[in-house]
Structure 1
Amino acid sequence: MKIFAHSHPQVKLPVVATEFISDAITKIKETQSINTGEYVVFNYRDKNYSADNGGFHPVEIAVQMSKDENDECTALLAYVTSFCFDGSNHYPELIKCCDYDFENGYSTHTLLGGVFTQTDKVGTKEANENFEIFFKNFVEYVGIGALMLDGVSC
């Protein structure tokens, strides 16, 4: 299955991302039908992650199912978002930590509890390098069982 960046087909996604997403969609299609135009959202998390104890940040991946000019099934990567806790008080919030938004064309990284935010346009050298490193790490975390698929919605 071909995977493209949603609204930005000129962006070359790293192989590790396209292979992982293609495999995940194939597994879902074994048990569910997915129609063209529908979004599929995968949620991965470390069940022990908390503001007090830390852990691996939860990750959400959304793809929109599509068809190419040959009527073959493709997927458009809409976004990949990592969440982290912000705040060390009694009410920490789960916020977007790393957000690769291919639909709207930007990637954002929030560091130091929201004190520093870096935003790049999708397709820039910095955004591409950050996404590749992020996704390689994500695949490793899934591979060692630190992040587990917690839910899929269609």
Structure 2
Amino acid sequence: MIRIKHENLAVQMSPMFTLYIADLLAPYENEKAVTINFRDPNYSADDGGYHPVEIRLENEGDGWRFLYITDYCFVGSSYMAELAKDLDFDFGAGVFKNLFGSYPIEQAIEMFQIWETNFVYYAMESKVFKIKFTLD
């Protein structure tokens, strides 16, 4: 069984979230690092949809450690829209960033709980994402 090392993070992760990520990592248990991309194929600047999410984990031998979780969104509209980091939980640097600035990750506890609840619902219940893995 894949072990996710989440106990010492500044934000608390739910067992449902960590089990979901562990299940996704199972085929890659011998890899050094994995980046998981979650994409709603219908997401666009004009029509909206579910934000793309990227999660990066590193295998430390005795378990997997989260490096970052980034939620992207379109900024602007139509042909001028650009995909930008909306929420960035950088566990390696201990920093939380959003469109308004950069903060110590401890200030993102509530934001992470809201994000995680929504993500788990979209990914596990609604199954809106196509998932792609990049291995290092």
Q: Which runs of 5+ in 1 are unaligned?
A: 69-73, 111-116
Question: Which of 125, 129, 137 is 2:118 aligned to?
Answer: 137
Q: Does 1:34 align with 2:30?
A: yes
Q: Does 1:50 align with 2:44?
A: yes
Amino-acid identity (%): 32
Q: For residues 55 and 10 of structure 1, do their structure 2 counterparts lie closer, same or farther at Cα, with a shift above 3 Å needed?
A: closer
Does structure 1 retain, via aligned residues, the 8 Å contact 2:46–2:78?
no
Of structures 1 and 2, the larger Rg is shown by 1
SS of the aligned residue for 2:56 comes to strand
SS of the aligned residue for 1:98 comes to strand
Q: Which runs of 5+ in 2 are unaligned?
A: none
Q: For residues 49 and 92 of structure 1, do their structure 2 counterparts lie closer, same or farther at Cα, with a shift above 3 Å needed?
A: same
Q: Which has the higher helix share?
A: 2
Count of matched residue positions in the alignment of Structure 1 and Structure 2 = 132
TM-score, normalization by structure 1: 0.76
Query: Which residue identity does 2:5 align to in structure 1?
Result: F
SS of the aligned residue for 2:80 comes to coil
Q: For residues 10 and 47 of structure 1, do their structure 2 counterparts lie closer, same or farther at Cα, with a shift above 3 Å needed?
A: closer
Q: What is the 5 A alignment of 1:97-136?
A: 97-110=86-99, 117-122=100-105, 124=106, 126-136=107-117
Deviation at 1:119, TM superposition (A): 2.9
Does structure 2 retain, via aligned residues, the 8 Å contact 1:45–1:57?
yes
| Pairwise CA RMSD | 2.0
Deviation at 1:13, TM superposition (A): 3.4
TM-score, normalization by structure 2: 0.85
Query: Which residue number in structure 2 is paired with residue 146 of structure 1?
Result: 128
Deviations 1:89-147 (A, max 9, x none): 5221100011101111111122xxxxxx143312x2x3122112211210100121222
Deviation at 1:152, TM superposition (A): 0.2
